[in-house]
Structure 1
């Protein structure tokens, strides 16, 4: 899918810049033209000569180059490519992009572009986890910027954790998906995520410990595989991914309505932790303490969104996938749930407190299908999402 495509590659300043050389080679192998833009900091790690030799094209570095800017070169660069890739995307570059700053060639063309942008973040783990970087990431995703990585591993600084730039072939796959390729190109997929909040009164509600991290990772992996993703999310801790249609809801009934509006779809993945019950008559005023003791709360059952979609006749997605968060007899309960709900697959996971999975960064799931149970090893939630996305692509092929 990359043959004849044109990528503008912005190389930021960081030790991961050396991977950009291999990325150029991998893209060129697939028939993609790469125009490189090297930041001043990036040139401290890789030379313009090595970048130019691999790309077979001139390297652009200076916003105030008299020859290029006589023809408004930064505007031309920002519009001529099919996609802009920033790899590595440093904390500094991400901050500039989020704030709309343009004080060098790279940041100026990123602000002037009308094309899709894909970033591959790379930085120290503490920089990545800093609240400012995460705010910038959320802003960029909300602006529609696509993100690949970062991966978890050892750092050049000696620390370990998330912050390693995605490997070149991972970035190539993300480029392919962004340009309309990928195994799920042309497919529409619905993903639900996060908890629901069921109001008791204007200041209190019933909820659960779901962070929305797994559903978010699934939506991101599906989008990177080329799918058109509608992401229906409750009030989750994890910000939604970029490149997807985000529909925010609060309650189970709001989620059910949003799901119905999002159909038809080729596949539907129900990763949300929907509250089974709601207060039958929520108070419109804060419930005050009284001499009579705690208030009596009457409950009503929430709609079963998964069963409702799985039981549809006309308009049912070809593939309906549910989740079963269990604390004991995980496979047995999930197997029974798949039959009871009428869905095609169930991903079962043990969320007992000792596992640390609920709200954590890892997951250990068992895929339940009509053919039986397939346990997956414990892995990061992004890895679970990528594995699931590959299985969905194969099922829809």
Structure 2
């Protein structure tokens, strides 16, 4: 067990810094963009910007993101033949997302909300390039080519920050150009990276049976989970006010970036998990060590750094966000166990377990978010955010322990 734990820790320590470095680049660029938008845009426009980007993450389901996970696991096992078919399929289905956003823009224009309509129209135009050509990223993770991933994503983050900031400075009163550029800039990098990756994959590469079918099924299974992820923003915007959403968006920005960095580090375990038949004692021990370390680190960061970083980024008009940000930063550690367990389930291409997790989480989190936000406003949204992490950890822990747990680690060997 000690040998396995050391091997896993070595792999994690070797690969995770590159992905964490990628996430740091995203964090720096994201924070720069966030600071400029929070200061230059009105609270209403800033709320609309954050809401629409959140809605885009849900509409991305039309691009079949579940196929990306299937490709990552297939590449880890040496099967690369599905990439071209997958990209073509995603590009076609992303047009459905474009139509959905265009329909939402028309509806808001019909109701007289022209600002929201303009933002949704911009999202509709930029969506196919932004969301329809993302599988290159999953394949690089599966191939463990993290330096190339860092290069392409670094270019995407930098280009997006520069262009979006220029729009915010030039057209602070208009939301259309800011959202359009926020999607088109990374979309251009997606096209280039996809073409590059296509040239690297021989046409004679083998295909993994049922991988694409699994990816399509998982994409459908993600509908409840992704819908729930945006409920807090939707509820605050329509139940409370755009200004309340702006305060919450500022408070949750740093915690979400930290959460994404944690997820990026955990992603390096995907290829390792794909080669492990069971979740043995060494993996359980590793999971709890990582979680305890992150909990302590997040707690210190919330106390020491948040009170100074957040006002520097957002300015004095969002001082009410500081306390909420401290609570959220500490709370993100509650979901770390769930992130690791869920990554393992995804690596097994287990669509049944995936569906059980997403449906269970949505059934619990959906009503919780709506009720807490409706009755308690921002405080309720903060509480619901933390409860989401606890919920996913409990659900995934139960399923992994029941289905993949193996007490004797001696029979679980890497291939």
Same fold (TM over 0.5): no
Higher-Rg structure is 1
> Which is helix-richer, 1 or 2?
2
Greater strand fraction, Structure 1 or Structure 2: 1
